[in-house]
Amino acid sequence: MTASFDSAEELMEHLKKQIIEFPNSEETITYSVEKKTGTGILDLTSFRNECDANNSLWNVSTDRPITSHRKLTGKFIVLGKKVVRKLLRWHVGNTFEMQTTFNGSVTRSFNELYNVVLQLTAKQEQYETHIQEQQKHIQRLENKLNNLDMQREVKIGMNNFKTEINEFKTEFDELKTEFDNLKTEKSIEKHKSEEDIANVISEVRSSQNNYVRSFNELTNLITDRFNTLDDKFKAEINFMQYRLRKIKNQSLTESSGKLPMLIEPNEKVETDSNSFDYLHFENKFRGSVDEIKKRQTVYLPYFINKENVLDIGCGRGEFIELMLENSVSVKGIDLNREMVEYCQDRGLPVEYNDAIQYLHSVEDNALGGIFLGQVIEHLTFEQIITLVELSYNKLKAGSYLIMETPNPLSLAIFYRTFYVDPTHVKPVHPLTIQYLVESIGFKEAKLNYSSRVEPNWWLPTLDVEEAAIKNVNEFNEGINRINELLYGNLDYAIIAKK
């Protein structure tokens, strides 16, 4: 049952009645506090006062001082009461001891409850402050989106200006036509020679050609500039929409009104994956979309003129864009919902799905190619085996499976890239993955290494005559091997043909 009480005395009285009336009842009592301040925070003043009173009165003793206000008979009354108390002590002593123990337990419970309420109240204030900050951040993002809309309006205005220039060019051509007509219709003044007229016409035509050439150059320059700005604005708007959606989702979660549960000391606490912004992480550490597309063009010849290509773990969609730009039908899947929504905002054919589950749903010999860019280092080896087996079954004959991943033969990955990403499991040795695809049935399996460390990191070799220093060639070969080990290619790809 549910009850509300204004003081600790009322609660204790109610508990006594419940114990007497329902000694074996399993019904529980839920105590609710209804008093709140104008700000929505609980007013705990009365509760604190009652706790203080309980702390001072919980110890009930049978040895309380016995006094009397009567002068003559007071001593006899006090003596009589002491005798009676001594005679009854054996009967009521245990009862008083049990009552004292119960009072102490209830008082300690109220003290702990008060501390918990204080902690929850402080948490509530923190959440309200954080929600207000997130709302301000959302407002700033919306203002930035409005600014981007204004810039797009400027672009529209420039397009209108280009249209007016085209109209002006048309009017100029009409005036030229009228001029040519007048030249044929009217006789030329006698004092002007034909040579002078020809020179004038030549100058007019030269000026016209210069004007048209300058106009075309200006038009091409403006068009290229607007295309660049349009792509940039689209990318910024898509990223802002992604960030705005993420912040709103976090705000909705935090403002749902759920207070944190008390956690046992040995209870495992799971981390909320939404707190890690993987898209922003890739933008900062992996490189721009254009840079990654440029690196991936080396794989383009293996997918040209293919159909139904699958990009597993498509991320920001660089490989999908590269395929679409070369008229290759492609589809991407990813297990990061925010990445999927970001790609969908950009109009890319991407869906949220697990790679192994998706491949199980595809018919055998149906895919024209499979690409995994920086994916297998996120998987266990058992998952990699299953993925390669399914890929072999689903690929058409003559199609390629390409998997790009960090190269453990170069120690540079360990201090530069691999451990920067907290979602990496472990690197895969290139000979291991080559053996795996060959054992499953791929008839061609070659390794392609890329992304070598910048030359300014390499150890220099000795540039001297062989006669000047003994074994200088062997020394330089050793330096080259050290450079290969420490500063070799950061990535490799296994290119397997079915």
Asked if 368 and 303 count as a contact pair (C-beta separation under 8 A), the reply is yes
Q: What is the pLDDT of residue 148?
A: 75
Residue 374 in domain = yes
Among 413, 431, 379, 400, which residue's Cα sits nearest to residue 490?
A: 413
How far is Cα 96 from Cα 104, in angstroms, rounded to an integer?
12
Same-domain pairing of 300 and 449 = yes
Collapsing DSSP to helix, strand or coil, 494 comes out as strand
Q: Which amino acid is at 63?
A: D
Same-domain pairing of 217 and 322 = no
How far is Cα 21 from Cα 7, in angstroms, rounded to an integer?
22
Collapsing DSSP to helix, strand or coil, 428 comes out as coil
**Of 102, 126, 150, which closes a domain?**
126
Q: Phi/psi at 392 (nearest 5 deg)?
A: -60, -40
Q: What is the pLDDT of residue 392?
A: 96
Q: CB neighbours of 219 closer than 8 A, spacing ≥ 6?
A: 162, 165
Same-domain pairing of 137 and 122 = no
Residue 151 in domain = yes
Residue 230 in domain = yes
Cα separations (Å) of 376 from 384, 407, 450?
7, 12, 17
What totals of helices (H) and strands (E) does the chain contain, helices first?
13, 9
Residue 187 in domain = no
Residue 50 in domain = yes
Tokens matching residue 79: 């003596």
Residue 267 in domain = no
- Pairing of the two strands 309-312 and 330-334: parallel
Domain of residue 37: give its range: 2-126
Q: Name the β-bridge partners of 144.
A: none
Tokens matching residue 261: 């549960």
Residue 263 in domain = no
Among 186, 8, 30, which residue's Cα sits nearest to residue 111?
A: 8
* Residue 292, number of CB atoms within 10 A of its CB: 20
Same-domain pairing of 17 and 159 = no
Cα separations (Å) of 30 from 326, 468, 471?
68, 94, 88
Q: What is the pLDDT of residue 136?
A: 84
CATH at residue 315? 3.40.50.150
Asked if 279 and 240 count as a contact pair (C-beta separation under 8 A), the reply is no
Task: Spell out a b/e string for 59-80, using b for 16 or more CB atoms within 10 Å of the CB, else e.
Answer: ebeeeeeeeeeeeeeeeeeeee
| pTM of structure | 0.52
**Of 227, 258, 289, which closes a domain?**
258
How far is Cα 340 from Cα 139, in angstroms, rounded to an integer?
25
Number of folded domains that form the chain: 3
Handedness of CA 152, 157, 162, 167 (dihedral sign): positive
The tens-digit pLDDT sequence of the chain (498 residues) is 445 556 556 666 666 666 566 544 444 444 444 444 545 556 778 777 877 877 777 776 666 677 777 777 776 676 776 777 666 666 666 777 777 788 888 888 878 888 888 888 888 888 888 888 888 878 887 787 777 777 777 677 677 777 777 776 777 777 777 767 766 665 555 455 566 666 767 777 776 677 677 677 777 777 666 666 555 555 566 566 655 665 656 555 555 544 443 334 344 333 344 556 666 677 677 778 888 899 999 999 999 999 999 999 999 899 999 999 999 999 999 998 888 988 998 899 999 999 999 999 999 999 999 999 999 999 999 999 999 999 999 999 999 999 999 999 999 999 888 888 888 999 999 999 999 999 999 999 999 999 999 888 898 988 887 767 878 888 889 989 999 999 999 999 999 999
Same-domain pairing of 236 and 296 = no
Residue 269 in domain = no
Same-domain pairing of 71 and 176 = no
Query: How far from the centroid of its chain's Cα atoms is residue 420's Cα?
Result: 16
Q: What is the pLDDT of residue 119?
A: 84
**Environment class of residue 300 by beta-carbon count within 10 Å: exposed (0-12), middle (13-18) or buried (19+)?**
middle
Q: What is the pLDDT of residue 211?
A: 66
Same-domain pairing of 282 and 392 = yes
How far is Cα 350 from Cα 348, in angstroms, rounded to an integer?
6
How far is Cα 233 from Cα 145, in angstroms, rounded to an integer?
10
Task: Spell out a b/e string for 409-446, using b for 16 or more CB atoms within 10 Å of the CB, else e.
Answer: bbebbeeebbeebeebeebbebeebbebbeebebeebe
Q: CB neighbours of 430 closer than 8 A, spacing ≥ 6?
A: 407, 408, 409, 447, 492, 494
Same-domain pairing of 115 and 148 = no
Same-domain pairing of 431 and 380 = yes
Question: Which strand (E) or helix (H) includes residue 451?
Answer: strand 444-452
Asked if 394 and 359 count as a contact pair (C-beta separation under 8 A), the reply is yes
Same-domain pairing of 106 and 226 = no
Query: How far from the centroid of its chain's Cα atoms is residue 285's Cα?
Result: 14
Residue with tokens 């020179």: 199
Q: What is the pLDDT of residue 100?
A: 77
Tokens matching residue 267: 């209870």
Q: What is the pLDDT of residue 61?
A: 66
Same-domain pairing of 114 and 142 = no
Q: What is the DSSP string of 302-352?
A: GTTT--SEEEET-TT-HHHHHHHHTT--EEEEES-HHHHHHHHHTT--EEE
Q: What is the pLDDT of residue 442?
A: 95
Same-domain pairing of 249 and 306 = no
